[in-house]
A and B are shown apart, each in its own frame.
Chain A
Amino acid sequence: MSYRQSNIRAISLPSRWFYLTATFFLTLTGFGQMPIFKRYYIADIPGLGWLAEFFTTHYIHYLAAILFLAFAAYMIVDYLALKRKSRKMTATGYVRAALIAGMLASGLFLVVRNLAGSNLAADFIIFLDLCHLGLVMAFLFVSLYCLIFKKQWTTVR
């Protein structure tokens, strides 16, 4: 059986779970950077107290971002090298990819901002903060739309 015939699935089940888990923790800890979980009692729920600890959410956000970056690189190369012949990106796939690329780019700038000695302009940092948050919100809405209307990232050519 050739590779093209055996890999019709857009994404394997482990990859799917990896993506969902990393995205879930990135979103949760990302929103945790705002002082809202304690204010709105979410951190009072047993087991969720850590959501009010900013250094903890910050650290987990970094860990999840590392996993997501590795996963994103893997999926890009996997698609370009193996799956592109049998599958093509959908319009919603391109939209999600663009939003993720924006989030990763702004996020990496923010990582650099957090290093000692970094010297990004204050207005640029405000732009990055708002951009990162705005892209996440847009990504969540697009993902919800794709979930409701069963839109896939790729389709068979």
Chain B
Amino acid sequence: MGQQISRRSFLKGGLAAAAGVAASGIPGSAAVAKPDETQHLATLLDISKCVGCEACLEACSEANADKYPDPQKPFPKMYPNRVPVEDWSDKQDVNDRLTPYNWLYIQHAEVEINGEENELTIPRRCMHCVNPPCVKLCPWGAARQLENGISRIDSDICLGGSKCKKVCPWNIPQRQTGTGLYLDIMPSMAGNGVMYKCDRCYQRVAEGELPACIEACPEGVQTIGPREEILKKAHALAKATNGYIYGEKENGGTNTIYVSPVPFEELNKAIEKGKGKPHLKPVKDTMGQANNLAAAMFVAPIAGLAAAVGKYYKSTKNSQ
């Protein structure tokens, strides 16, 4: 299915074909007036449409199975002893939380809508932040952000230090011990496996296809398209349904926008949270604080230069 979500597919199909596809109303694809690979692609998730059938989850596992870890056992003895072994290889069927073998799961929330008790189901995975701390703060460059906004972890480079998980406001990446580059370096002293998370099917997207979870959804819960356009759709949907938006401003903005019929504060209270089960709380811009100093970093040399010139002027004047 050649959706108009990348310039490659756009060039292949041409403007007319792209417009035709858009007009045909294929579920999950947003009409893209100006396809541009340099523009972030965002997904809109209409929570009210999700029935919790887990078709997305199954499709995700099927599409990404070849990327899942295949750890070597026994694991190397790690020093010091406090370094935790995280092994999910014998629990690959766990699907009620995020694991290295389960990059998407369904959260359940019992909430009241118009006086009636309802169960909402929410697909949860990586939010693909606009300025992702997992990518920006990875000390090795193992996590990377593609031009289309997808953030992914390169399992060939990742050492499994889990910093990305700690700096992620939702603690999304999950570690599998006993696999990856660290085994070839100093397996006892540094590293601890590889971190795994949703890469929004970047290879499929590069080929102009939809991410597996979007394509498989029978209810059309998710829509993908340029972020600006997805935000417009999200606001229109929220306005039409008296709904609420999550992901637009969280962590400075994400490329995953949820629209819910109930406030996210209520949803956050209703969902089960914990390890591998992300919250729905408001999130400040984690990269913003340090980035506010960036301008000062470029001004600082001027201040130093001015101080030195002042000293030079003074010494010249004194020597006269």
Contact = CB atoms under 8 A, between A and B. Distances in A.
Interface of A: 2-3, 33-36, 39-41, 54-55, 58-59, 62-63, 65-67, 69-78, 81-82, 108, 111-117, 119, 122, 125-126, 128-130, 133
- Give the 6 A-B residue pairs with the shortest CB-CB distance, closest first: A73-B304, A77-B308, A126-B141, A116-B131, A74-B304, A70-B304
Interface in B275-320: 286-287, 289-291, 293-294, 296-298, 300-305, 307-309, 311-312, 315-316, 318-319
B137 A34 contact: no
A3 B141 contact: no
B318 A3 contact: yes
Interface of B: 38, 80, 82-83, 130-131, 136-137, 139-141, 144, 147, 154, 157, 161-163, 166-167, 190, 252-253, 286-287, 289-291, 293-294, 296-298, 300-305, 307-309, 311-312, 315-316, 318-319
B294 A115 contact: yes
Given A39-B80, A58-B290, A114-B287, A82 B167 contact: no
A62 B293 contact: yes
Contacts of A2: 319
B303 to A, nearest CB: 5
A2 B291 CA distance: 45
Contact of A33 (B82, B131, B139): B139
A39 B83 contact: yes
Contact of A59 (B131, B163, B293): B293
B297 A62 contact: yes
10 contacts: A35-B139, A35-B161, A58-B290, A70-B304, A72-B301, A74-B308, A77-B312, A81-B312, A114-B287, A130-B140
B167 A55 contact: yes
B136 A114 contact: yes
A133 B139 CA distance: 9
Given A66-B300, A69-B297, A82 B315 contact: yes
Given A33-B139, A82-B315, A59 B161 contact: no
Contacts of A65: 297
B308 A55 contact: no
Given A34-B139, A78-B312, 16 more contacts: A34-B161, A35-B139, A55-B286, A58-B290, A62-B294, A70-B304, A74-B305, A74-B307, A77-B304, A108-B297, A108-B298, A111-B294, A115-B294, A116-B252, A117-B131, A126-B141
Contact of B304 (A58, A69, A111): A69
A82 B307 CA distance: 13
A128 B138 CA distance: 12
